[in-house]
Each structure stands twice: as structure tokens, then as C-alpha cells.
Amino acid sequence: MQACWMVGILVGNRLAARLGTVSQAAHALAITGITTGIAVLIPAAFPYVVAAGIGWFIGGVSNGVDNVTANAIVRLRTPEEMRGRAFAAVSSPVMGANLLRTAAAGGLLLVMGPRAVFALSGTGALLSGAACLMFVHRALKRERSPAEAGLLSN
């Protein structure tokens, strides 16, 4: 399973490297929430090794795209002398949320089965990704440029 995730990350990194605009990066970042949700729902719906491997590969691709696009957006919006602080400010809450999520999933496993925990997690990621995609799309559509939408400061 770890190999499927890692190969997916490599593919996702290459896909994200092809994004050319801030708008594309912002949309890709929001879409990764949706695809991560789908990736987690696959093994919940189909508890077979092949299905789990496919889910983990999709999750890895999502993770790779997410990492590259989030870092690119921070890099584009932050003056060079402040980038270290900006990357820390962005990555710290993400790491904290990941730790909290892992602890919550462990607690839920005591009262629910693993498939139910995966289904709950995947649904949450899918819904939050859809909400982010709607926000990004609306913000970019409403404004004439990504800078005016607050996604790029120049």
C-alpha cells in the first residue's frame, strides 16, 4: 500500500509541475480534496487489496498535486525574505490537523469498524474539497484576476 501511495506522489508531482497559472493551481488544490475523498472511499466501498491499491495510488497522486500546488501558491504570494515563515505558517496547521485526524480515527475505530471510519473520512474530505472548489471557482470568476481575488499578491 505504501508503494502505491509513493508512486502516486511521484505522478502527482509531475502532473502539478505542468500547471501554468495561479488559477490552475488554486483549482487543482481544491480538486485534491475531492480526489483524496474518492481515494479513501474506494477501499471503504470495495474491501479488496486491488481496490485499496488503486485508492492509495489515487490518494498519492492527490497528495503530490496538493503539496506542489500549495507550495507554489505560498511561493507566489510571499516575498522572498518571508517565505520560510510563510511555509511554516501553512504547514504547521496542516500537520496539526493530520495528527488530530489520526487520533480521532483511532478513537472512532473503538466504536466503529474500519470501513465505516474510512467512509466517514472519505466523505468529509470529499465534501470539504467540493466546498473549497466552489469557493475558488466563485472567487476567481467574480474577480478579473487571481491577484484581485486574493490568491496572488503583486
pLDDT in tens, the chain (154 residues): 889 999 999 999 999 999 888 888 889 989 999 999 999 999 999 989 999 999 999 999 999 999 999 888 888 888 889 988 998 998 888 889 889 988 998 999 999 989 999 999 999 999 999 999 998 888 888 775 555 555 555 4
C-alpha cell at 34: 475531492
Q: Which of 119, 102, 130, 124 is nearest to 41 (CA)?
A: 119
pLDDT score recorded for residue 101:
86
The answer to whether the pTM exceeds 0.85 is no
pLDDT score recorded for residue 54:
96
**Burial of residue 42 (number of CB atoms within 10 Å: 0-12, 13-18, 19+):** buried
